[in-house]
Amino acid sequence: MAESKVRKAAPPKAKPAAKPRKPETRLAMVRRARRINRELAELYPYAHPELDFENPFQLLVATVLSAQTTDLRVNQTTPALFAKYPTPEDMAAANPEELEEIIRPTGFFRNKAKSLIGLSIALRDEFGGEVPGRLADLVTLPGVGRKTANVVLGNAFGVPGITVDTHFGRLARRFGWTTEEDPVKVEAVVGEIFPKSEWTMLSHRVVFHGRRICHSQRPACGACPIAPLCPSYGEGETDPEKAGKLLKYELGGQPGQRLKPPGNFPGEAAARADAAAHQGKVADMAVGQ
């Protein structure tokens, strides 16, 4: 019996290899980075520190408490804390167990209480009860690293500083500004890209964007106005409608994290107007696709 002839299918034609992108030059990266900063300034004209504070000591304490928790949780905790311990002298003399109980909601309360009492003692004994306005002095305080020091310097003393928290580090890498993981190295690299006068506000804008749009999990790429400038576009949801549902805080129609915003904060009306403008940009992006 003759064997049936089986016709072999022709192998599929290989797709032409995509042309590799040319490596971005240093100059091009710097220009793109600074444009991202300008775009973020338009998106978040009201960017600000999201911890409630009325003086440098309160900001220092709140920033120490903010580790491994949300600013909102800290803002819910600090009113009772500062009512009981309004000054470094008061906190230096605190009963550790009583202090721990007040700050318990922020997590890691035993270590944080130890740091707060330690830094308060140092402020009392070494700095006359005042928070120093120099980085070299601040980082000598228990529980205070460069990130916390830069927060205090930039927002309580007007000294430019880059605050590299988890949001800032994540976005700096996604934006292609650096590949560094170490916060100190990220700070140094990014500091060379932007003028010193921009450092503090850049920090606020990038952190705002990380909390509202460019999340750690499921970034809302399809709702991001700076998507055309981002080499990491596509890591998250690209459909504008689906991405719009991922937006947080005022961009998602919810309040931010401050319970007592400063007097010069534009307020809810400005946030609503900005959110509406953002939604308009998202709609334009959807039409253009």
Of these residues, 52, 71, 112, 147, which one is catalytic?
Answer: 147
How far is residue 57's CA from residue 155's CA, in Å, rounded to a whole number? 12
Residue 84 confidence class, pLDDT cut points 50, 70, 90: very high
How far the first Cα of the chain sits from its last, in Å, is 60
Asked if 145 contacts 151 with a C-beta cutoff of 8 angstroms, the reply is no
| Class of domain 56-156 as given by CATH | mainly alpha
pLDDT at 289: 57
Q: Is the pLDDT of residue 55 over 90?
A: yes
Mean pLDDT of 6-32: 68
- pLDDT for res 264: 60
Pick the CATH number of 161-288 from 3.40.50.620, 1.20.1730.10, 3.10.290.10, 1.10.1670.10: 1.10.1670.10
165 annotated active-site: yes
pLDDT of residue 282: 57
- Is 214 known to sit in a ligand binding site? yes
Q: Taking the CA atoms of 169, 174, 175 and 180 in sequence, report the sign of the dihedral they define.
A: positive
Digit-coded pLDDT (tens) for 171-221: 999 999 999 999 999 999 999 999 999 999 999 999 999 999 999 999 999
Both tokens of 12, joined, read 């599929």
- Percentage of the chain surpassing pLDDT 90? 77
| 47 assigned binding-site residue | no
Judge whether 221 is annotated as a binding position: yes
Rounded to an integer, the average pLDDT of 51-80 is: 96
Query: 266 Cβ partners below 8 Å, 6+ apart?
Result: 45, 46
Active site residue 147: yes
Q: Pick the catalytic residue: 52, 71, 112, 165?
A: 165
The secondary structure of 216-235 as a DSSP string is SSS--GGG-TTGGG-TTTTS
pLDDT digit string, tens, across residues 106-164: 999 999 999 999 999 999 999 999 999 999 999 999 999 999 999 999 999 999 999 99
**Which of 10-24, 68-82, 131-145, 148-162 is least confident?**
10-24
pLDDT-derived band at 275 (thresholds 50, 70, 90) equals: low
- Running DSSP on this structure, what letter comes out for residue 139? T
Domain ranges of the chain: 56-156, 161-288
Mean pLDDT for the chain overall: 89
* pLDDT in the model for residue 261: 77
Consult the annotation and say whether 224 binds a ligand.
Answer: yes
Burial tier of 263 (Cβ tally within 10 Å: 0-12, 13-18, 19+): exposed
